[in-house]
């Protein structure tokens, strides 16, 4: 299995509850290494751009409001099969459907305030990493 990278966001519901460390510990214990990390407050333009694929969905406006409601921690994660490894430890979008031991099962408040984002493909991971990080900010 190849070592690859994925993009993660610790969302405002998690930073608000001081769970940056708790979430990161679960990522690391799942075999992922944090090779870039910064705490930022997304602008409306950034949130709309980042979630552009969901623009037509009924929850888009609320999602942008939520993602700009407080600080987030954007991260690049590295590990074997990183996209799938991260999606597995994240758990299902809706915490009610998330497996035991996943980040969303342990920490998420709702289908919207679900504590973490993770890229869904290698292609999107590359796009999302480039959205927030310059190449020299990622240190493997």
Q: Which residue's entry shows tokens 């519901």?
A: 13
Q: Binding marks (x or -) toward Mg ion, 110..139, rule CB under 5 A?
A: ----------x-------------------
- Report the residue from 64, 117, 132, 133 that binds ligand ADP according to the rule CB under 6 A: 117
Q: Binding marks (x or -) toward ligand ADP, 22..61, rule CB under 6 A?
A: --------------------------------x----x--
Q: Which residue's entry shows tokens 């099969």?
A: 81
54 catalytic residue (yes or no): no
Catalytic choice (5, 11, 104, 117): 117
- Report the residue from 34, 63, 106, 138 that binds ligand ADP according to the rule CB under 6 A: 63
The per-residue DSSP string of 107-118 comes to H--SSSS-SEEE
**Closest CA relative to residue 47, chosen from 72, 29, 26:** 72
128 forms bridges with which residues in the sheet? none
**CA–CA distance, 29 with 33 (Å, rounded to integer):** 9
**Closest residue to Mg ion, Cβ-based?**
120
Dihedral angle over CA of 93, 76, 131, 3, nearest 10 = -100
Interface positions with ligand ADP (CB under 6 A) = 54, 59, 63, 93, 111-112, 114, 117, 120
Interface positions with Mg ion (CB under 5 A) = 120
Positions marked catalytic: 117
């Amino acid at each position: 299995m190849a070592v690859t990278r994925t993009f993660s966001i610790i969302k405002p519901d998690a930073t608000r509850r001081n769970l940056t460390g708790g979430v990161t510990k679960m990522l690391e214990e799942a075999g992922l290494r944090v090779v870039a990390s910064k705490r930022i407050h997304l602008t409306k333009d950034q949130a709309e751009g980042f979630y552009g694929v969901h623009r037509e969905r009924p929850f888009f406006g609320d999602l942008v409001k939520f993602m700009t409601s407080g600080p987030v921690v954007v991260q690049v994660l590295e590990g074997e099969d990183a996209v799938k490894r991260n999606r597995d430890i994240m758990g299902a979008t809706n915490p009610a459907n998330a497996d035991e031991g996943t980040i969303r099962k342990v920490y998420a408040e709702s289908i919207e305030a679900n504590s973490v984002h993770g890229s869904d493909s290698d292609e999107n991971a590359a796009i999302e990493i480039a959205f927030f990080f310059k190449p020299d900010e990622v240190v493997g």
